[in-house]
Structure 1
Amino acid sequence: AAGVLGGAWVGQRCGRDKVITFDIGGTSADIGIAIDGVCAETDARSTSIAGFPLLMPMLDIHTIGAGGGSIAYVDQGGAFKVGPQSAGADPGPAAYGRGGTKPTVTDANLVLGRLEPGDFLGGEMGLDLDAAQVVINDLAGELGMDRLEAAEGVLTILNANMANAIRSRTVQRGIDPRSFSLVAMGGAGPLQGAEVAAMLEVPEVIVPPHPGITSALGLLIADLKYDVIHTQFQVSTSADLALFNSEFAEMEAKLTARLAEDGLHADDVRFERAGDLRYLGQGYELRVPFDLGEVTEIALEEVWQRFHDSHAAEYGHAFKDSTIEVVNLRMTAVGASPDLDLPVPDGGKTLDMAHVRTRQAVFRVDGTLQSFETQVYRRDLLPLGVPVSGPAILLQKDSTTVVPPKATATPHETGSVIISLETKS
Structure 2
Amino acid sequence: MSKTPWRIGADIGGTFTDVVALGPQGRIVPMKVLSTPPAFGEGVVTATTAALAEGGSATAEVGAMLHGTTVATNAILEMAGARTAVVTTRGFRDVLELGRLRRPTLYDLSWVKPAPLAARRHRYELDQRIHADGTVIRAADADVAALAAKIRGAGIAAVAVCLINSHLRPDEERRVAELLRAALPGLYVTASVDLSPEIGEFERTSTATVNSYVGPVVHDYLTALQADLRGAGVTAPLLVMQSGGGLLDAAKVVERPVQIIESGPAAGITAVTRLARLMKLDGVVAFDMGGTTAKASLIEHGEPFVSADYEVGGGMNVARGLGSGAGYPVRAPSIDIAEVGAGGGSVISTDVAGALHVGPTSAGSRPGPACYGNGGERPTLTDANVALGYLSPESLAGGRVAIHPELAHKAISGVAAELGTDVPTAARGAYEVAVSGMTTAVKAVTSERGRDPRETTMVAFGGAGPLYAAALARELGITTVLVPTHCGLFSSLGLLVADVERYGLTPYRADTDPAREFDLLAAEVTAALQTGDPGRAVTVDRFLDVRYRGQRFELRIAVPDGPLDDTALAEVCARFHSEHRRTYGRAGQDELVEFVTLRVRGRVAAGASLESVLTAPLPQGRPEGVRIVRFDEHVEATVLSRAALGADPRPGPLVIEDMDSTTLVPPGATAHRDHLNTIVIRWEQS
Using structure 1 for the length normalisation, give the TM-score: 0.88
In the other structure, the counterpart of 1:6 is 271
CA contact (8 A) 2:496 2:608 kept: no
3-state SS of 1:414 partner = coil
CA contact (8 A) 1:347 1:382 kept: no
CA contact (8 A) 1:348 1:354 kept: no
2:484 & 2:435 partners in 1: Cα distance? Answer: 20
Change (3 A) 1:328 1:207: same
In the other structure, the counterpart of 1:309 is 578
In the other structure, the counterpart of 1:143 is 419
CA contact (8 A) 1:18 1:179 kept: yes
1:54 & 1:63 partners in 2: Cα distance? Answer: 17
3-state SS of 1:158 partner = helix
**Residues 283-312 of structure 1 deviation map (CA, whole Å, 9 limit, x = unaligned):** 332223322333323333333333333333
For this pair of structures, how many residues does the alignment match?
Answer: 406
Task: Measure how far apart 1:145 and its partner are.
Answer: 2.1
Task: Measure how far apart 1:322 and its partner are.
Answer: 4.4
CA contact (8 A) 2:543 2:600 kept: yes
CA contact (8 A) 1:14 1:414 kept: no
In the other structure, the counterpart of 2:503 is 227
Residue identity (%): 37
Task: Measure how far apart 1:214 and its partner are.
Answer: 0.5
2:356 & 2:577 partners in 1: Cα distance? Answer: 46
In the other structure, the counterpart of 1:372 is 635
Once the two structures are overlaid, the 10-residue window that deviates more, 412-421 or 48-57, is 48-57
Change (3 A) 1:178 1:354: farther
CA contact (8 A) 2:573 2:590 kept: no
Task: Measure how far apart 1:114 and its partner are.
Answer: 1.0
Change (3 A) 1:282 1:387: closer
Task: Measure how far apart 1:14 and its partner are.
Answer: 4.2
Cα RMSD, aligned residues only: 2.3
Matches within 5 A, 1:102-181: 102-181=378-457
Using structure 2 for the length normalisation, give the TM-score: 0.56
**Residues 165-211 of structure 1 deviation map (CA, whole Å, 9 limit, x = unaligned):** 10121123221212222111111111111111111121121112111
In the other structure, the counterpart of 2:311 is 48
In the other structure, the counterpart of 1:218 is 494
Matches within 5 A, 1:18-417: 18-42=283-307, 44=308, 46-50=309-313, 51-234=327-510, 243-261=513-531, 263=533, 265=535, 268-320=537-589, 322-340=591-609, 341-342=612-613, 344-346=615-617, 355-363=623-631, 369-379=632-642, 381-382=643-644, 384-417=646-679
Change (3 A) 1:388 1:313: closer
Once the two structures are overlaid, the 10-residue window that deviates more, 50-59 or 318-327, is 318-327
Consecutive unaligned residues of structure 1, counting only runs of 5 or more, are: 235-239, 364-368
3-state SS of 1:333 partner = strand
Task: Measure how far apart 1:339 and its partner are.
Answer: 4.5
Once the two structures are overlaid, the 10-residue window that deviates more, 208-217 or 7-16, is 7-16
CA contact (8 A) 1:347 1:383 kept: no
1:105 & 1:18 partners in 2: Cα distance? Answer: 29
1:210 & 1:108 partners in 2: Cα distance? Answer: 24
2:576 & 2:641 partners in 1: Cα distance? Answer: 52
Change (3 A) 1:190 1:300: closer
Once the two structures are overlaid, the 10-residue window that deviates more, 83-92 or 151-160, is 83-92
Structure 1 residue runs of 4+, over 4 Å off? 345-349
1:21 & 1:100 partners in 2: Cα distance? Answer: 31
CA contact (8 A) 1:225 1:333 kept: yes
3-state SS of 1:21 partner = strand
2:599 & 2:617 partners in 1: Cα distance? Answer: 46
Task: Measure how far apart 1:347 and its partner are.
Answer: 5.4
Task: Measure how far apart 1:158 and its partner are.
Answer: 0.2
Task: Measure how far apart 1:110 and its partner are.
Answer: 1.0
1:312 & 1:203 partners in 2: Cα distance? Answer: 26
2:534 & 2:482 partners in 1: Cα distance? Answer: 34
**Residues 353-379 of structure 1 deviation map (CA, whole Å, 9 limit, x = unaligned):** 85332121111xxxxx21111111122
Change (3 A) 1:57 1:128: same
1:343 & 1:30 partners in 2: Cα distance? Answer: 23
Task: Measure how far apart 1:69 and its partner are.
Answer: 0.9
3-state SS of 2:335 partner = coil
